[in-house]
Amino acid sequence: MSIRFEGRVAIVTGAGGGLGREHALALAARGAKVVVNDLSAADRVVAEIRAAGGEAIASNASVTDFDAVQAMVAQAVQAWGRVDILVNNAGILRDKTFAKMDLADFRLVLDVHLMGSVHCTKAVWDLMREQKYGRIIMTTSSTGLYGNFGQTNYAAAKLALVGFMQTLALEGEKYGIHVNSIAPTAHTQMTEGLMPAEVLAKLKPAAVTPAVLYLASEEAPTRAILCAGAGTFERAYITLTQGVHLGTGADTPERVAAQIAAISDRSGDMVPGAGSAQGANEISKAAAAG
């Protein structure tokens, strides 16, 4: 199987450098027409793509500005007639412990990562529904999935994107729209100074891009959280244990405390197909208990 993108149109946000640049270059190299979105460096990446024989146009739209994002999508449609792939990559960091963090910095990170992805996705959603095809990629993070000291704002935004993905994938399924998430580990401007130089040397942004190309392809799954860094690829899941029925008596809080190990037992845990699986599990156990 060869992953190719001839006839496909892709938008990559935050593509002026780092991960986004690598994603845009790789998509173009495999035949996609690419909208390179970045506040300042989009033209440079477009020039790189064109110099290599590819097709690309630049967009300086801020993902926090829905009107500008809509204009970016209209620009792609005017040039090429469709949008098949959206890679939501734009992001910023404003790291501090929660005790020291200004709420303005919390909101700003949410606005760029979460609402920026919402804006871009909303702008292409009806188009993808009409053409009955789409591939949308959210950029989540191990910080959102598992936490990281000093990054409450970033963690909140990145895990919110997973929840956004989970429901979008359900809503887009009958229209051929697959929605997935990439959790990258890479040395970019955002991670400068956070790790030793010898570690950062292994974490080239290009090492993440193969996972993005797969998630952008016709063969992509939907509702996957694919992790990538330094040439290693993993998959993350949000699971639900089988749980224990303890009733609703006055001593139930104490019974929860006494049974927390059994409640937490991952034997037979599941990856729910939808949020309703939790309620279905609880009701079935309550019914079985009489």
For residues 10 and 85, is the Cβ–Cβ distance under 8 A? yes
Distance separating alpha carbons of residues 127 and 80, to the nearest angstrom: 13
Cα–Cα nearest to 114, from 90, 86, 87, 84: 90
Output the six-digit token pair for 244: 């224990």
What φ, ψ does residue 137 adopt, rounded to 5°? Answer: -120, 125
β-bridge pairing 232-236 and 225-229: antiparallel
The yes-or-no answer on residue 154 being catalytic is yes
Of 133, 154, 214, 237, which one is the catalytic site residue? Answer: 154
What b-and-e string marks burial along 48-59, b requiring 16 or more CB atoms within 10 Å of the CB? bbeeeebebbbb
* C-alpha angle 199-204-208 in degrees, rounded to nearest 5: 120
- Amino acid at the residue 163: G
Question: Where in the sequence numbering do the catalytic residues fall?
Answer: 154
